[in-house]
Each structure stands twice: as structure tokens, then as C-alpha cells.
A and B are shown apart, each in its own frame.
Chain A
């Protein structure tokens, strides 16, 4: 699949991914002579960044970290490219000084350590040739402050037995919103749903598949739900209760994308 982001430092680079879920400090965190991660607080301590596509949310720490990135490049042990969620000054500066391709505005959870990754720092895109993209629409139905969640059947092709919102796969030729409306009718038989909000996509990595989930929020006039065969249970819950349920991955993030905090 191809992830579209923003070009920060030009050039192309590819290699196996090395993914950290934590902000990275380069000064004292990475040895500029060897490229080995030294930071005791890092979840990739002991790994070598040389020749790999280094993926992390953002940089932190001393501005001297920019020179460390330059040093890695000068000693031939730089990452082949860097992918960030949100690049800040230290990493941007170091990558440009060292000629390391850098793309940001990429959700790092879409990439797993070991994935083959090709980064196009000119176009601002990241290619994952072994990963399949599947689009999905997720519709949160709201009635008097409560949100509908459905329990997926034990024979569901993906995430059986977990709680989800109304959802369905989006075909390549289809628009996510149209799919969401169809699924509401099929899975709940509720009519008169009114679109309130739509959020940016949320990536759910599952084995070699990335589900690109498009979240929507609808107000509905009733709590009367007629289940189809896909789901085995339905509940109307307060948004704050969602973490108590065993849900499909990142359901809370999808809800947060359409529901303002505290609403």
C-alpha cells in the first residue's frame, strides 16, 4: 500500500522498517559512529539504524541531535530514510544536513518492524509493497448521548467476537460515506440517520493488512435496533465506557476523530 504524507527532506531510500513507538532523542540516544540505539528509555535499544527505514512519532531532546543525524550520514550508518508522525525542528534539520530522506504526517502504527518500506522524500509518500490496503467505513450512531456498539459474530472474517461500531468494507469504486449509510440499514435497520461529523482515516494494522478506517458520526432518532446475522449483540454506551469493552483495534481513536472531547 501507499501512504501519503508530507515531504520534509528530499531523496529516496528503502529498506526494512525499524519502528519505535516513542519519541526519539538522538544526542546520547544513538551512537553517531555505529548507528546503534543507546537510549535506555527507547523501545528499540540495541538495534542499529543503519540502512533501515526508521519510523517514530517525533523527535525530542537536545538540538545537538541534528548534528548526530549528520554524523550518522557522514559515517555511512544513517537510516536509509526516516518516517515520522510529526516532524519537529531537530529531526528535520538533521535529515536535511545529512541528506536523509524524511516524510512526515504518516501514522506510524501502520508500519511494523521488518516491513519492506520505500520512502519517496520528493513526493512525500511511503510505499509498503508487501502490505495490502483495505478500506472500511465505521459509523458511530448516537442517540441522546449514547453510542451504539455491536458484537461481531464468532464467524466474522475479521475480528470475530469483538465489539465494533456499524462497519463494512469499502469497495475500490465505492465512497466510504455511501457504504456507511448502507451498513446502517443492513446492520441495524434504523432509518433517518443524520450525518454529524466525519473524521480523517484511522489506520489499523492487522498482519499483512492495513485497514484504512473512515469514521463517521450519525445522530439517529431511535434506539430500536434490528440485528442482521453479522452481529450477535447490541448496546448503547456512553463514549467514556468504550474502553471497558473488548473492541476492534483503535475503535476509541476512530470515535475521537469524529467526537470532540467531552461532547
Chain B
């Protein structure tokens, strides 16, 4: 790999953490055939929930933070708890103390305390064509597909290494020729609202990866957030195109590619397949965290009725502040609007055995990460069923 004088200087004479970061980027670049490191516009790091990274992750992050500072705007994924309301979540004192140490380490490195899996909604929004280094599979997929920024699906440490050096290896989705479609998806279904989650689950599990090119699909940016999250949960997919819908669809070159078809029946089948429980004991909304608009929609859908099981809503601190009125209405009806954390990276298993959720990503990870059964349905239906 060719390095600039500045990059060599960081590798050989940076602080111990910067030297480690540079060596990591070079090694990963060589594994994937990169011949240089690219400057990045921003980073988004993962590995913040104590539940996910455990004591080894805590030790690494705390050690690394001693002599590392981020050099590009950097946001960080959700923690394992709401920093203020963790007692309501049934979190232990020990867990909370360790979680606070992780949060403190990121703060000390100059990472913005976003604790969000939707960095693009909380002030870390790249421009079209920007190279970035984002962990969090749903956010990386959204950045590539919907914004037209360029990132691979980074791991926690590689995104952190990029954040403290300002560079990422030039391979994969950083290269224009690697951003072309690899399969056509003919959507022969009415896809609205939460069906975008079902569509992502289905296409991900059929294709397993690559870059799908959707035909017959129209969705808002909010819809494509849910598609990004679910498709990245059942596959390695880190980018898709929507014909006439996403910024790079004209460069996708779908002609002659293998094609699959998705019908209403497929979407119903995927909903059934991911529904593993009968009666839920909590409704969990998030994964990814809800936007301010989505909080307002939930408040409206509750229609003044108090659900008979708990409703936990996961959002970013920024969205919770922005939609303060909706938050008050949800909480007045017994709901809890939690920030800094998300559906499956917190200890939902402390309070539940079966979660009802419209989230495709939640439906994939709640069974493995939280030992939960899942009931999948859209929010309106869930609020009616558990009214």
C-alpha cells in the first residue's frame, strides 16, 4: 500500500493508539486489496453498548481513549441503557457503572454523544460522494443507498481507527465500479409503511448480499431507513438502488443481471417466519431509533388509549427533545420514550420474554441477542391488539 508522508508519520510516530489505529487500517486495507488510504469526511463508530462489547470491549475502549482524539466529526452507536432512566429499565448498578465508563471514554476522545444508530438524523449527514467510515450496518446501508456517500460496513474498531486518523482503506464501496447493482428485485407488492421492513428481510435472506436494484418501489427517506436496517440484518448488503428513487440508480447498470420477484405473499410469509411468539408482554418500537416525526405518528396512533402492556419507544436524545410534546402524550398513556439506547442492545430481557415489534432488524436480533420471542406487526395493529 502506498502511504503519504503524513500517514507514515502517524504510523511510526503517532501516540500508541494512533499507531495501533494506523496499523489496523493498513492491515485491513491489505487484506481487501486496497492500495491507498482515503481521507474521510466523517465517522460513525459502533461498540458502545456494554451488553454487546462486555468487559473486553470496555477495557479496550478505555485504554484506547487515553491517548486518542477523533480528527473528523464522529458519532457513536446506542449504549446499553438510557443514561438517565436506566433504573426504570431494570438495569443493575454494576452494568450502569460500566456503561458510563464506556460513554465517558468516547466523550474523552471527542466523539459526539449522539448514542444513535441514525447518525444521519442527528447532525452527521454526509454529502453525496463523500467518503466516510461508518460502522452500524443499517446506517452504512442508508449512507450508501439514500445519501450517495461511500462507506464499507465497518466494524467498531476499524471505524474508530478511521475516526482518530481521518483515513479509511480504499476498497469495496469506496470505488465507483463496486457500487453497481448485482441483482434486480421486481417488487410486485404494495409496499407501504412497515412493509419496507418485511421487504428488506425477504430480499436480504434471498440474495444474501450484493447490491440489489429495486424496480416498482417508491418510498420516502423514512421508508428507506427501515429497508436499510432490515436488509442489512438478513444479509451482508451495504447498498441498494431504487429505480428513479436513489441518487445513483442511473449508474447501477442492471441490464442482464439475475432477477428475483417479491410479492405480497412473500411479505406475508416473511412476517410469519419472523413471528416466533404468540402473546407479547411488551411492545418495542425502534431499531433503528425513531425520528421526531415517527414519535409524533406513534403519539397520534395511540389515540388517547392506554395499552395494556408496556410500550417502550427507542429514539435519540435529539429527537426526544425535538418531539417533546409527542413524548409527553406517549408517556401520559403509560409508554416510555427512552434515549441513548435501542431495542436489542439494551437489556430488554430484564422485563420481557416476547416482544411485539414492527422492526425487521429487531425481529432478527431479539431472539439471538436478547433471548426473546417476537410478534411482528405494524404499529397501528399492535396498538389495537394490545389496547
Contacts and interface: CB of A to CB of B under 8 A. Distances in A.
A97 B21 CA distance: 8
A93 B24 contact: yes
Contacts of B60: 67, 70-71, 74, 97
A175 B245 CA distance: 60
A96 interface: yes
B54 to A, nearest CB: 7
Contact of B56 (A68, A89, A90, A92): A68
A87 B59 CA distance: 24
Sorting the interface of chain B by its residue count into under 10, 10 to 19, 20 to 34 or 35 or more gives: 20 to 34
Nearest to A74: B59
A256 B31 CA distance: 25
Interface in B44-76: 47, 52-57, 59-60, 63
A66 interface: yes
Contacts, number: 63
B156 A89 contact: no
Nearest to A8: B27
B31 A32 contact: no
Contacts of B52: 64
Contacts of B53: 64, 67
Sorting the interface of chain A by its residue count into under 10, 10 to 19, 20 to 34 or 35 or more gives: 20 to 34
A64 B57 contact: yes
B23 interface: yes
Interface in A3-17: 6, 8-10
Contact of B57 (A8, A9, A67, A89): A67
B193 interface: no
Interface in A72-118: 74, 87-90, 92-93, 96-97
B157 interface: yes
Contacts of A87: 31
Contact of A92 (B31, B54, B156): B31
B31 A71 contact: no
A88 to B, nearest CB: 8
The interface residues of chain A, by DSSP majority, are classed as helix
B155 A8 contact: no
B3 to A, nearest CB: 15
Contacts of B289: none
Given A67-B54, A71-B56, A71-B59, A89 B20 contact: no
Contact of A64 (B31, B56, B158): B56
Interface string A48-81: 0000000000000001101110110010000000
A96 B20 contact: yes
Contacts of B63: 74
Contacts of B27: 8-9, 92, 96
B227 to A, nearest CB: 23
A90 B155 CA distance: 9
Contacts of B20: 96-97
A257 B340 CA distance: 53
Contacts of A88: 31
B34 interface: no
B28 interface: yes
Contacts of A89: 28, 31, 155, 158
Given A63-B155, A93-B28, A10 B23 contact: yes
Interface of A: 6, 8-10, 32, 63-64, 66-68, 70-71, 74, 87-90, 92-93, 96-97
26 contacts: A6-B30, A9-B23, A9-B27, A64-B53, A66-B155, A67-B47, A67-B53, A67-B56, A67-B57, A67-B59, A67-B60, A70-B56, A70-B59, A71-B59, A74-B59, A87-B31, A89-B155, A90-B155, A92-B24, A93-B24, A93-B155, A96-B20, A96-B24, A96-B27, A97-B20, A97-B60
3 nearest A-B pairs in the assembled complex, by CB-CB distance: A71-B56, A67-B56, A67-B57
Given A89-B31, A92-B27, A96-B27, 14 more contacts: A8-B31, A64-B47, A64-B53, A64-B57, A67-B56, A67-B59, A67-B157, A71-B59, A74-B63, A87-B31, A90-B155, A93-B24, A93-B28, A93-B157
